[in-house]
Amino acid sequence: MCLAVPGRVLSTAEVDGALMAEVDFGGVRKEVCLQYIPDATIGEYVIVHVGFAIQRLDERSAQETLANFEKLGILAEEFGDGFELAARQKEFPEGADK
């Protein structure tokens, strides 16, 4: 699954000619491209899809969305260790008794 996830801009920098940001997604930090929203500032919330900030979002909406994603386990699925997830799926294929 590939979601658009809200995150808070922690810092910005130009990297190899591209505007980048460190973004916090409820405790998970990732590097994100700001080319679509070059005037995003530290402290703002942005919606990120496949590594690109694509839209701004107000803080209340961002926090609510992150809380709902956390309750549903979506954040762990989206940002968790892909190798660990693959190993668990191989060990316990869908429909198999655990």
For the chain, domains (ranges, CATH) are 4-91 (2.30.30.140)
14-51 pLDDT tens trace: 999 999 999 998 888 999 999 999 999 999 999 999 99
- In terms of DSSP bridges, do strands 18-25 and 4-15 run parallel, antiparallel, or are they unpaired? antiparallel
* Highest-pLDDT range among 27-31, 80-84, 91-95: 27-31
Mean pLDDT of 40-66: 94
Q: What confidence score (pLDDT) does residue 98 get?
A: 47
CA 58 – CA 71 distance, rounded (Å): 20
Q: Which residues lie closer than 8 Å to 95 by C-beta, 6 or more apart? A: none
CA 9 – CA 44 distance, rounded (Å): 6
Q: Which has the minimum average pLDDT: 8-12, 31-35, 51-55, 75-79?
A: 75-79
Q: What confidence score (pLDDT) does residue 40 get?
A: 95
What percent of the chain clears pLDDT 90, i.e. is strictly above it?
53
The residue among 93 and 21 whose pLDDT is bigger is 21
